[in-house]
């Protein structure tokens, strides 16, 4: 089954053709980052306009790269939630138009589910059940993936997502948006033991996260130093932040894997590209006899190949949308739109 997948939930316009959930025939991503950089973050209105301009070209390129026409495609998948509403609407309406014109089934895909599915493309042996950390600019979730379309969230952030904390700390250090990757590079040059940063526990759930305190601690550290006329070494600040964030993520994920009895541990989302997180998890999983699955770097951030992968499993479980499908800005990963 060949699925044409479309993704426009944030600042990447992407299209891909994926066969049977795991074979990527083409994947095209048009990033808007350069445009948003000058504002220090994503401007929703600009994102929507950019998607409108790019979506036809990106989709044609994906079809051309796969050497296929729309007639060869069996179904069209689209990210419908969660994300920036105006951005999502571009993809959803474009996909609906294609389905209507070509009489194809429309498969709605949840963005977090698709990040998890990026791992099915990279690891052909990976099958649910497993436990997954989804760490991105909008989410920090520990999820039991019981089956391809059956999820239970056992931990989530109470405030900032870890990617958001990375981006805000990066901004204070003077790095461009999105700062996660710059923090990661700086961290590799710094001394992680220089600054002691907070590792808050959250009342009520041992697997929930809170990253706003960590972000604020970095802001205060820099502010206090500035007031005293001190100049802190950016690499040391980034390294201390990275050590703290990665320890928190790894400790909770590994404890959850052990308590819930999962041998296979998976990570997904933009922050899963982080070198410190990948290294820490590799060590901790080995120590605890757990199998770790990491997405390749090109599948960590937003792309449409992951949407095409998850769409295949959604379709097999009977999920097809009507033309009344709407975009949804915020939607739990375990919620089904049908
Ligand atoms: O999954 P994603 O591309 O978009 C969302 O769905 O949010 O994640 C983007 C987030 C941003 O916060 C970005 O700074 C972060 O992922 N990120 C990183 C790294 N690469 C991307 N954070 C830390 N280290 C990295 N290497
Ligand atoms: Zn994402």
Would you state the pLDDT for residue 335?
A: 83
| CATH code assigned at 61 | 3.30.420.40
Interval between CA 138 and ligand 1 midpoint (Å): 9
Would you state the pLDDT for residue 70?
A: 98
Is 245 touching ligand 1 by the criterion CB < 6 Å? Answer: no
Written as one string, the DSSP assignment of 149-178 is: TEEEEEEEBSS--HHHHHHHHHHHTTPPSS
Would you state the pLDDT for residue 236?
A: 98
Is 276 touching ligand 1 by the criterion CB < 6 Å? Answer: no
Written as one string, the DSSP assignment of 176-213 is: PSSTHHHHHHHHTTS-TTS--------TT-TT-B--HH
247 lies in the same domain as 284 = yes
User: Is the pLDDT score of 337 beyond 80?
Assistant: no
Smallest-distance ligand from the CA of 109: 2
Rounded CA separation 223/227 (Å): 6
Domain total for the chain?
A: 2
User: Is the pLDDT score of 272 beyond 90?
Assistant: yes
183 lies in the same domain as 36 = no
**Residue appearing with tokens 């089954």:** 1
Interval between CA 94 and ligand 1 midpoint (Å): 26
User: Is the pLDDT score of 31 beyond 80?
Assistant: yes
Is 249 touching ligand 1 by the criterion CB < 6 Å? Answer: no
42 lies in the same domain as 191 = no
- Is residue 336 included in any domain, yes or no? no
User: Is the pLDDT score of 264 beyond 60?
Assistant: yes
Name the residue of 270, 277, 330 to mutate for ligand 1: max ligand atoms within 8 A of Cβ.
270
Would you state the pLDDT for residue 203?
A: 86
12 lies in the same domain as 152 = no
Q: Is 204 exposed, middle or buried (0-12, 13-18, 19+ CB in 10 A)?
A: exposed
Would you state the pLDDT for residue 193?
A: 98
65 lies in the same domain as 14 = yes
Q: How far is CA 28 from CA 84, 303, 335, in A?
A: 20, 8, 28
Report percent pLDDT > 70 for the chain: 99
- Is residue 270 included in any domain, yes or no? yes
Rounded CA separation 114/95 (Å): 17
Would you state the pLDDT for residue 6?
A: 98
Q: What is the mean pLDDT of residues 166-174?
A: 96
132 lies in the same domain as 86 = no
Is 192 touching ligand 1 by the criterion CB < 6 Å? Answer: no
Q: What is the mean pLDDT of residues 282-290?
A: 98
- Is residue 150 included in any domain, yes or no? yes
- Is residue 210 included in any domain, yes or no? yes
88 lies in the same domain as 183 = no
Is 12 touching ligand 1 by the criterion CB < 6 Å? Answer: no
209 lies in the same domain as 110 = no
Model confidence over 191-225: pLDDT tens digits?
A: 999 999 999 888 888 999 999 999 999 999 999 99
Would you state the pLDDT for residue 257?
A: 98
- Is residue 10 included in any domain, yes or no? yes
Interval between CA 304 and ligand 1 midpoint (Å): 16
Interval between CA 89 and ligand 1 midpoint (Å): 22
Interval between CA 227 and ligand 2 midpoint (Å): 37
Model confidence over 118-147: pLDDT tens digits?
A: 999 999 999 999 999 999 999 999 999 999
Smallest-distance ligand from the CA of 269: 1
Would you state the pLDDT for residue 309?
A: 98
Would you state the pLDDT for residue 150?
A: 97
Written as one string, the DSSP assignment of 219-285 is: HHHHHHHHHHT----HHHHHHHHHHHHHHHHHHHHHHHHHHHT-SEEEEESGGGG-HHHHHHHHHHH
Q: What is the mean pLDDT of residues 42-66?
A: 98
Rounded CA separation 242/225 (Å): 20
- Is residue 325 included in any domain, yes or no? no
14 lies in the same domain as 112 = yes
Interval between CA 300 and ligand 1 midpoint (Å): 8
User: Is the pLDDT score of 254 beyond 80?
Assistant: yes
Would you state the pLDDT for residue 289?
A: 98
Atom of ligand 1 nearest to the CA of 83: 6
Expressed as residue numbers, the domain containing 276 is 128-296
Report percent pLDDT > 90 for the chain: 97
Would you state the pLDDT for residue 263?
A: 98
Model confidence over 304-322: pLDDT tens digits?
A: 999 999 999 999 999 999 9
- Is residue 204 included in any domain, yes or no? yes
257 lies in the same domain as 276 = yes
User: Is the pLDDT score of 45 beyond 80?
Assistant: yes
310 lies in the same domain as 292 = no
Would you state the pLDDT for residue 338?
A: 54
pTM of the model: 0.97
How many degrees, rounded to 5, is the angle at CA 15 between CA 267 and CA 18?
Answer: 70
Rounded CA separation 111/277 (Å): 22
99 lies in the same domain as 202 = no
- Is residue 185 included in any domain, yes or no? yes
């Amino acid at each position: 089954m060949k699925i044409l997948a479309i993704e426009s939930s944030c600042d990447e316009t992407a299209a891909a053709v994926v066969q049977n959930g795991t074979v990527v025939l083409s994947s095209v991503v048009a990033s808007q980052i350069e445009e948003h950089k000058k504002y220090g973050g994503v401007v929703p209105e600009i994102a929507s306009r950019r998607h409108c301009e790019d979506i036809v070209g990106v989709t044609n390129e994906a079809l051309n790269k796969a050497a296929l026409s729309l007639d060869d495609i069996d179904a069209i998948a689209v990210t419908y939630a969660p994300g920036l509403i105006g951005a999502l609407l571009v993809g959803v309406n474009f996909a609906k138009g294609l389905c209507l014109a070509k009489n194809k089934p429309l498969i709605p895909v949840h963005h977090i589910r698709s990040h998890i599915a990026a791992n099915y493309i990279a690891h052909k042996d990976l099958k649910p059940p497993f436990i997954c950390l989804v760490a991105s600019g909008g989410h920090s979730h520990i999820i039991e993936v019981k089956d391809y379309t059956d999820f239970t969230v056992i931990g989530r952030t109470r405030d900032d997502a870890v990617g958001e904390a990375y981006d805000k700390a990066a901004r204070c250090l003077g790095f461009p948006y999105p700062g996660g990757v710059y923090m990661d590079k700086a961290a590799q040059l710094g001394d992680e033991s220089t600054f002691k940063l907070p590792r808050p526990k959250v009342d009520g759930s041992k697997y929930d996260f809170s990253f706003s305190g960590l972000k604020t601690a970095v802001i205060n550290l820099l502010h206090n130093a500035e007031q005293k006329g001190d100049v802190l070494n950016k690499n040391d600040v980034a390294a201390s932040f990275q050590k703290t964030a990665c320890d928190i993520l790894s400790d909770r994920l590994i404890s959850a894997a052990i308590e819930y009895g999962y041998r296979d541990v998976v990570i997904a989302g933009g922050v899963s590209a982080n070198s410190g997180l990948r290294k820490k998890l590799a060590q901790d999983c080995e120590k605890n006899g757990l199998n770790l699955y990491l997405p390749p770097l090109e599948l960590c951030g937003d792309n449409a190949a992951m949407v095409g992968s998850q769409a295949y499993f959604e379709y097999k479980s009977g999920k097809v949308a009507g033309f009344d499908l709407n975009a949804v800005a915020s939607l739990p990963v375990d919620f089904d739109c049908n």
